[in-house]
Copies of this chain bind each other. A is one copy, B any other.
């Protein structure tokens, strides 16, 4: 929507209130989440994954998602998205008025069975039902699929690129609006990233539009850069790298929003983000989850003299 009207070439999509908080045991107060979303908007972010329509019993820390969508919609130009695990979640997402809903689809058969209790093809079938429901309701909510474990899996190890590309094709055929590739467990390397995104674009064109990296093993920003070189322009990130990795205590989760902002500022590509505002927000988020480790790199040394905030 706004990409054509502004000089902003990169969309950094914040996933902290969902992906970040999902890995944090404690529940953040709704007021703090709203302050977080408000500050992100003030810092220039225009896409935020505000929560998830999973059953509140399973994830009580995200039970206020509908309220957060409603709040986010009051902020000019802000496009709230939500994660949905299935058709039931999709219905709630549509009813909430979210701009987009994201269904995770694991490219690893083993991971898909373990986490979603469905095969990847069963998830594709659900995706089709979600698109149909959205259309039947006359909703404009974008349907996005996030192909997780696209670069490897902690359970089955290697994930074949051909299988990822088959699922990209299946998602296109199912009628989704947007597709992302996610390195859920921090296995990706920049060579693999460049190749798979290039191949994915051949299959899905500009529907393949999001790159989601974790910095678990230090290659998060190298992978963001490789995906950018391959043509990606939207990147998920999380304030302060909050959330970590459940499989590796102390290791980072999502790449940090401020690190991604710094990377693109340093290569001279506009993101529309205010770096100092992101750094100040990092401190506030830290105070709201006291005791939870934050991650990321740029916060220690700050910007070089050669990069303007």
Chain A contacts to B: CB under 8 angstroms: 152-154, 157-158, 185-187, 189-192, 215-219, 221-222, 225-226, 245, 247-252, 259, 262-263, 266-268, 296-298, 300-302, 304-306
What chain B residues lie within 8 Å of A262 (beta carbons)?
217-218
CA distance A199 to B251 in the complex (A): 37
Chain B residues with CB under 8 A of A301? 186, 216-217, 245, 247-248, 251
In the complex, 21 of the A-B residue pairs with CB atoms within 8 angstroms, ordered by the A residue number, are A152-B304, A152-B306, A153-B305, A154-B305, A157-B305, A158-B305, A187-B304, A189-B266, A189-B267, A191-B267, A215-B297, A217-B266, A217-B298, A218-B259, A218-B296, A221-B221, A221-B222, A222-B225, A222-B263, A225-B226, A248-B302
In the A-B complex, the 9 residue pairs with the smallest Cβ-Cβ separation, listed nearest first, are A218-B297, A248-B301, A189-B266, A222-B222, A251-B300, A157-B305, A251-B301, A191-B267, A187-B304
Given A215-B297, A217-B301, A297-B217, answer yes or no on A192-B267 (Cβ-Cβ < 8 Å).
yes
Residues of B within 8 A of A154 (CB): 304-305
Nearest neighbor of A214 in chain B, beta-carbon distance: B301
